[in-house]
């Protein structure tokens, strides 16, 4: 099979409001970052499939003959992947010799790669290739590194398998895909995110696919074009954590205290909607101090709700205290439990 070499990149993201609640059908507002993940896929003729993931010290190589033994449980379908193929996931876990539910970083990324590679090259002729991934994003820090990785994987393998075109013309530096191709890339990236997150909402891979700023609700993606320029400070607590574990913890808490947590989720939904309304007002009329007062209050309320959900962390509390002492307002972004926080800077904030 003739595989087309490709170089792909996808942005990370910051969730302004709605993390975790979005997994339970509430509104989230998310924006892409100017920090990207890059993936190079190159055809090879050594009869091997190799992945090089230096950010997580992972370098794995398989003989094609090893992977072909997995052919039997492949459906070979390339249409939109909506639900994970449980038989393939089970077979891959056995192939990799993993038994426990929560996998380490390297195993997770490898499993996601093999799932996409085998699903899309399917029962056809499996090509020999090498995939290298490098990212500007810290991994496991709430900035959507898993989604950027998943979007790059999906786009590269779809491109290499010919399921989507290589849009780059020789006279162009960069190029993108049409809406239909982006939807296919996003749906396969969502599959990879299911392997990493367990139960993702899809907001992260949607931002990684379409970029910009968007409103996400139960799979419905609305790009937000009318938003003001906001200055957001990203702070990384450097406390490692796993999104999959944190998402599962919130689900357990909701199941344990539904009458307490469901109103909290509804309140976060209202915070996202109120924030969207204020952002829209800030583009239609002169920006007033009151706009920032409301945005700051929403940040504080949401941070308290995230602590109630059990995804806060002392390092994030410290961030909130340090910035509050300077009249600034912060909240965690992404899964929490450490990772990054965001701080809203007012236009006149001193460097």
Ligand X SMILES: C[C@@](O)(CCOP(=O)(O)O)CC(=O)O
What does the buried/exposed string (b/e) look like for 264-298 if buried means 16 or more CB atoms within 10 Å of the residue's CB?
bbebbbebbbbbbebbebbeeeeeeeebbebbbeb
Q: Token digits for 170?
A: 């020789």
Q: Does residue number 11 form part of the binding site for ligand X (CB under 6 A)?
A: no
The distance of closest approach from Cβ of residue 3 to Mg ion in the complex, given in angstroms and rounded to an integer, is 28
Find the binding residues for ligand ADP in span 144-183 (CB under 6 A). Answer: 144-146, 149
CA dihedral of residues 335, 339, 344, 347 (deg, nearest 10): -140
> How many residues of this chain interact with ligand X, rule: CB under 6 A?
17
Least distance to Mg ion from the beta carbon of 195, Å?
Answer: 11
Among 20, 26, 36, 78, binds ligand X (CB under 6 A): 20
* Tokens (6 digits) for 51: 């992945």
Answer for the pair 20, 309: CB distance below 8 angstroms, yes or no: yes
Map residues 135-174 to x or -, x wherever contact with ligand X holds by CB under 6 A. -------xxx-x----------------------------
Pairing relationship of beta strands 28-43 and 220-223 according to DSSP bridges: unpaired
What does the alpha-carbon distance between residue 219 and residue 137 come to, in Å, rounded to a whole number? Answer: 24
The CA–CA distances, whole Å, from 321 to 28, 102, 120, 327 equal 25, 33, 48, 10
User: Is 146 noted as a catalytic residue in this protein?
Assistant: yes
Contact pick of 18, 127, 142, 336 for ligand ADP (by CB under 6 A): 142
User: Does 37 engage in binding with ligand ADP (CB under 6 A)?
Assistant: yes
Contact map string, positions 241 to 280, toward ligand ADP, x by CB under 6 A: -xx-------------------------------------
Instruction: Classify residue 299 by burial, with Cβ atoms within 10 Å: 0-12, 13-18, 19+.
Output: buried
- Sign of the torsion angle spanned by Cα atoms 287, 290, 292, 298: negative
Does the active-site annotation cover 85? no
Active site amino acids: 146, 204
Residues lying near ligand X in the complex (CB under 6 A): 19-20, 22-23, 142-144, 146, 197, 200-201, 203-204, 243, 247, 334-335
Question: Which residues of this chain interact with ligand ADP, rule CB under 6 A?
Answer: 37, 53, 55-56, 105, 108-109, 133, 135, 139-146, 149, 196-197, 242-243, 334-335, 339
């Amino acid at each position: 099979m003739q595989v087309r070499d490709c170089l792909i990149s996808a942005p990370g993201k910051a969730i302004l409001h709605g993390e975790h609640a979005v997994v339970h059908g509430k509104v989230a507002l998310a924006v892409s970052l100017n920090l990207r993940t890059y993936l190079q896929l190159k055809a090879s003729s050594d009869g091997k499939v190799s992945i090089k993931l230096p950010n997580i010290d992972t370098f794995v190589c398989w003989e094609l003959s090893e992977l072909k033994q997995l052919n039997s449980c492949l459906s070979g379908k390339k249409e939109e992947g909506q639900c994970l193929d449980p038989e393939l996931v089970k077979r891959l876990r056995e192939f990799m010799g993993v038994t426990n539910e929560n996998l380490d970083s390297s195993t997770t990324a490898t499993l996601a790669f093999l799932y996409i590679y085998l699903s899309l090259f399917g029962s056809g002729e499996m090509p020999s290739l090498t995939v290298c991934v490098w990212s500007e994003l810290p991994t496991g820090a709430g900035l959507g590194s898993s989604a950027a990785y998943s979007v790059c994987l999906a786009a590269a393998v779809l491109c290499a398998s010919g399921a989507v075109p290589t849009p780059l013309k020789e006279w162009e530096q960069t190029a993108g895909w049409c809406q239909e191709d982006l939807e296919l890339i996003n749906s396969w990236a969502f599959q990879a995110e299911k392997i990493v997150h367990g139960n993702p909402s899809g907001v992260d891979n949607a931002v990684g696919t379409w970029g910009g700023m968007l409103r996400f609700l139960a799979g419905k993606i609305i790009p937000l074009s009318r938003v003001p320029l906001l200055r957001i400070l990203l702070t990384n607590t450097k406390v490692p954590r796993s999104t999959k574990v944190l998402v599962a913890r919130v689900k357990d808490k909701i199941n344990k205290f539904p009458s307490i947590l469901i109103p909290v989720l509804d309140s976060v939904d209202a915070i996202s909607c109120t924030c969207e309304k204020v952002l829209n007002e800030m583009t239609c009329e002169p920006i007033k101090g009151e706009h920032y007062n409301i945005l700051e209050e929403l940040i504080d309320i949401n941070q308290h709700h995230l602590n109630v959900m059990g995804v806060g962390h002392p390092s994030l509390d410290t961030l909130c205290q340090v910035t509050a002492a300077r009249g600034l307002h912060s909240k965690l972004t992404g899964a929490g439990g450490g990772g990054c926080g965001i701080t809203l800077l007012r236009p006149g904030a001193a460097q």
